[in-house]
Chains A and B, each alone.
Chain A
Amino acid sequence: MSKISLPPSGLAEDFLGEIREEQAEIQLVTFALGEQYGVPISQIQEIIRVGNITMVPNSPSYMEGVINLRGRVLPVLNLRKRLRLQAKDLGKMSRIIVTEVNNKTIGLLVDSVSHVIKVPPDFVEAAPEEVLEIDTDYITGVGKLKDRLVILLDLEKLLRREKIEIKE
């Protein structure tokens, strides 16, 4: 923790708020899939351009294929298909976000990567219940920026669910 010097007022409440904010500030990487989505930067290893993707037969439809990431064979998920959004062709801005969750490295194919944003902890609000169906519990919440909304994804849940679905 950084060094704290008492403010001239000597009152705790004058600086406690500042500290809290500092500690809990989150960095999000936001990307576009029609809407803006965000995931914590701590779960992201790197962002790469879309190169040669090898299709894997007999795999779920949202599995885009595998890529060669510096000698590693990395599975790539088509996030649009996974989130059951309308399919869209690959474009110039398409990117693969390489995520690392639970010691598994998985690529996520997205339309484009927007920004890295720093947000205060109270930025995220629980998504309104009407949009949260059983199938959408991988949405942590919705954050409000000045001009738009950012949907926060829980990658751990999103990627864990895959396995269960296959077993069914």
Chain B
Amino acid sequence: MDYSALIKDYLDDANGHLNVFDSALLSLEKGGYKKDTLINILGALHTLKGNSGMMGFESLKTYIHHVEEILEKVDDNSIELGQALDTLLDSANVLRNALQWIGKNPTFTPDLMENILALQKKLEGSGDASEKQQVDLLSYLGTKTDTIKVDFKRLDSLLNLVGELVIFKTRLNQIETQAKGAINDKSFAKDLNEGLELMGKTISELQEGIMKARMLPVSYVFNKFPRMIRDLAKSQGKEIQLIFEGEDTELDKTVIDELEEPLLHIIRNAIDHGIEVSRDRVNKGKNQKGTIVLSAAQESNYVIIKVKDDGRGIDFDTVRRAGIDKGLIKSEDSLDKDNILSLIFSAGFTTKQEATDVSGRGIGLDVVNKNISKLNGHVIVDSIHEKGTTFTLKLPLNLAIIPALMAETGGEVYAIPMSAVDESIKVREEDIHIINNHEVIRFRERVIPVVRLAEFFGLSPSPVIARDKVPKQSHLFGAASKDEIASPLARNDKKGKQKKFYLVIVSKAEKRIAIAVDRLRGQQEIVIKPLDDTFGKSYGIAGASILGDGRIVLIIDVMSFYEKKEVLAGV
């Protein structure tokens, strides 16, 4: 946050406190001494004092300190309220003037030395009450505030309305395309087109404006951690310094809210498992102090949040062994670094023999994964042994409206969030190979498992065949006959031999899966609507969206493809 924005925040806040001070003084004047009111004033002044000190207005801070002293004397009856009131009311004016100067010229640092001396005199009981502070009448109005507090629910319902508007806009555009043929009058068609375009532009701006209104700087979450890190580090005999980077990056409030818990778990892990005690660090030739860097940066429509520590890193052998113990993997499985790292996100996974009160119960990272996927984001973990671990969270800037790739399969259209999509390719059946009974594709020097969306969802492979006649099981996940596994081509009818279809390649933490669909229908912004879960959560579906023509498309939960172990076992 730059300085002028900070000054603005400070002034808004200070004027608020000053108003509390003023009105409390007036009520003291009217109603006489009241403990509550006094405490109220002291609270307001104390905050104002602290903020002024932080902003570097030392003189203001000292002045407020003296005002506080007077109030305390009033409280313990060493000064009579009536005597002090004039001085106090005066002091409010002094403060108000000082704030006004700062408001006019933010680089100005008020010098209240004279006023401080006067107050000191008052405290000592001497001094002349007639030295009235001259006040510009306008200053009673205070500086005008530029911020208002709004209930977030109101912004939320506004965004929902805009979401509807986007849907209607798409609908109108479709009608226009359909109507084009019917309209003979060229200039009329042009007018219609222009009008729609202008409306579309305004809707986009409106949408953007409301999105911006919902944004908060990520420092909002970051600032919750310094204290926790300090306390945890202390209790474990570790020295840790915390560094923030890019904390003024802004995110939608709903994302900010969902971010707290994942970050908590990641940071807790970094302290508990990552950073070593000071002695060990010195022995390893590292800086005695461990470092945790919390950083945020915006990349196009995403925000990248990183938690980086310079601790001992993840020991792959330990993780592997723990994975075998828990029965998550088999001892003969050959796993690469990424496969092993993905184990730490499994529910109940821990390498610790005994749980500490900080971590080790094996809850934590699976929560991280779940929360972040819920936001349509990803978690990527990277670790170098003895050098440290970095968790990278990639999150969409906002939740309600996302770009999605529309894909058709089995006669149904599904939306795949673009956040997960790497690329899409056109292939033929013969490009698909079978390894170890699983379908894969060789692409860019990689072997990527193929999941046929129609089978994953138990749809018929071709819209011609009635849905009911197709067995629900997919051959990738057991249950189907051996013959079918051996010959995926058998599913193609005579005409379909050369049939081309599309693979949408999605990735999560460097792991790729190719989702096979019949056709691609382009990219589109969609408004996410939750699906009612009265009948249980539908596996593989993240939500629904309504298209311009009123049809509902379901949004694919890409993460669920990774939960099917059989899919990944193919590589």
A58 adjacent to B541 (CB under 8 Å): yes
CA–CA, A59 and B534, complex, Å: 11
Contacts of B546 in A (CB 8 A): 68, 71, 73
CA–CA, A52 and B411, complex, Å: 13
Q: How large is the interface on B (under 10, 10 to 19, 20 to 34, 35 or more residues)?
A: 20 to 34
Q: Using an 8 Å CB-CB cutoff, how does the interface string of B543-571 with A read, 1 for contact, 0 for none?
A: 01010001111100000000000000000
Contacts of A63 in B (CB 8 A): 535
A121 within 8 A of B: no
A58 adjacent to B532 (CB under 8 Å): no
B57 within 8 A of A: no
Please, which residue of chain A has its CB at the minimum distance from the CB of B556? A57
**Smallest CB separation, B469 vs chain A (Å):** 14
Quick one: which of B200-218 are within 8 Å of A by CB?
none
A56 within 8 A of B: yes
A71 adjacent to B167 (CB under 8 Å): yes
Pick the contact of A66 from B167, B457, B531 — CB < 8 Å?
B531
Pick the contact of A59 from B459, B529, B530, B536 — CB < 8 Å?
B536
A166 and B535 contact, Cβ closer than 8 Å, known pairs A54-B412, A55-B412, A73-B529: yes
A22 within 8 A of B: no
A41 within 8 A of B: no
B538 within 8 A of A: yes
B467 within 8 A of A: yes
Contacts of A54 in B (CB 8 A): 412, 544, 551-554
Size of interface on A: residues with Cβ below 8 Å to B: 25
A162 adjacent to B458 (CB under 8 Å): no
Contacts of A68 in B (CB 8 A): 546, 550-552
A163 within 8 A of B: yes
Please, which residue of chain B has its CB at the minimum distance from the CB of A71? B164
Contacts of B552 in A (CB 8 A): 52, 54, 66-68, 73
Contacts of A59 in B (CB 8 A): 535-536, 538
Please, which residue of chain B has its CB at the minimum distance from the CB of A106? B534
Please, which residue of chain B has its CB at the minimum distance from the CB of A104? B534
B531 adjacent to A57 (CB under 8 Å): no
A120 within 8 A of B: no
Quick one: which of B443-462 are within 8 Å of A by CB?
456-459
The number of inter-chain residue pairs (CB within 8 angstroms) is 77
What are 20 of the A-B contact pairs (CB < 8 Å)?
A52-B551, A54-B551, A55-B412, A57-B458, A57-B539, A57-B541, A57-B554, A59-B535, A63-B535, A66-B531, A67-B552, A71-B167, A73-B530, A73-B531, A73-B532, A73-B552, A75-B535, A162-B535, A163-B535, A166-B536
A56 adjacent to B554 (CB under 8 Å): yes
A75 adjacent to B531 (CB under 8 Å): yes
Contacts of B540 in A (CB 8 A): 57-58
CA–CA, A167 and B531, complex, Å: 18
B532 adjacent to A75 (CB under 8 Å): yes
Contacts beyond the supplied A54-B553, A68-B550, A68-B552: 14 A-B pairs with Cβ under 8 Å: A52-B551, A54-B412, A54-B544, A54-B552, A56-B531, A57-B457, A60-B536, A66-B531, A66-B532, A73-B531, A73-B532, A77-B535, A163-B535, A163-B536
CA–CA, A67 and B531, complex, Å: 11
CA–CA, A54 and B545, complex, Å: 11
Please, which residue of chain A has its CB at the minimum distance from the CB of B412? A55
**Smallest CB separation, A33 vs chain B (Å):** 19
**Smallest CB separation, A167 vs chain B (Å):** 8
Contacts of A56 in B (CB 8 A): 531, 538, 541, 554
Pick the contact of B539 from A58, A75, A77, A159 — CB < 8 Å?
A58
Contacts of A55 in B (CB 8 A): 412, 467
A57 and B459 contact, Cβ closer than 8 Å, known pairs A66-B544, A71-B546: yes
A163 and B534 contact, Cβ closer than 8 Å, known pairs A68-B550, A71-B546: yes
Please, which residue of chain A has its CB at the minimum distance from the CB of B533? A163
Pick the contact of B457 from A58, A71, A73, A162 — CB < 8 Å?
A58
Q: Using an 8 Å CB-CB cutoff, how does the interface string of B411-445 with A read, 1 for contact, 0 for none?
A: 01000000000000000000000000000000000
CA–CA, A58 and B542, complex, Å: 12
Contacts of A163 in B (CB 8 A): 534-536
Please, which residue of chain A has its CB at the minimum distance from the CB of B163? A71
